[in-house]
Amino acid sequence: MEHYTPPRTEYNLVTARLSLHYMEDLASIFTKVNQALKPEGRFIFSVEHPVITSTLQPSALRTNWTVDNYFFMGFRQQHWMGGYVQKYHRTLEEYFSLMQQSGFTVTNLKEACPQKEHFDSAETYERRMRIPLFLLMSGVKNR
């Protein structure tokens, strides 16, 4: 994504699913997306929720989360599945601001609230209700 040069004013819709929290220079990616969209084109993306990227606890079945250094944005490394994952933490406000600065009007923001009917056990549902796992945002290209 960082090295891709998309065609200009080509697309009506661009999506990015759980990938942007791995990108260091998100401002330039948002600008490229804006340039690739036709007038009033839509951009929809999802990322790990900033609460998750600020915890950096090893992956495991957990019942509590320690949010730490939330306002210190940037590189984070997390132990995950026997290795390490590198990602970039940003606040919810930063995602919103980057959208606006890149020429989008934010049209929707969701924090992926779990729905009880999608869980096999009440215990898992209750645990998932503790914190948001994902942030979903959409915007439309300004004229």
Q: Is residue 2 part of a domain?
A: no
Provide the residue range defining the domain that includes 26.
11-141
Residue from 52, 85, 86, 89 nearest 74 by CA: 89
Please state the domain count of the chain. 1
Q: Is residue 6 part of a domain?
A: no
Q: Is residue 76 part of a domain?
A: yes
pLDDT score recorded for residue 109? 97
Distance CA 104, CA 2 (A): 19
CATH of residue 35: 3.40.50.150
Q: Is residue 5 part of a domain?
A: no
Task: Name the pLDDT band for 125 (thresholds 50, 70, 90).
Answer: very high
Q: Is residue 66 part of a domain?
A: yes
Q: Is residue 113 part of a domain?
A: yes
In the predicted structure, residue 116 carries a pLDDT above the cut 90: yes
pLDDT score recorded for residue 122? 94
Task: Name the pLDDT band for 128 (thresholds 50, 70, 90).
Answer: confident
Q: Is residue 20 part of a domain?
A: yes
pLDDT score recorded for residue 59? 61
Vertex 78 angle, CA 73 and 79, to 5°: 175
pLDDT score recorded for residue 57? 66
pLDDT, tens digit (0-9, with 9 covering 90-100), for 19-45: 999 999 999 999 999 999 999 999 999
Q: Is residue 36 part of a domain?
A: yes
pLDDT, tens digit (0-9, with 9 covering 90-100), for 69-114: 899 999 998 877 788 889 999 999 999 999 999 999 999 999 989 9
Task: Name the pLDDT band for 63 (thresholds 50, 70, 90).
Answer: low
Task: Name the pLDDT band for 62 (thresholds 50, 70, 90).
Answer: low
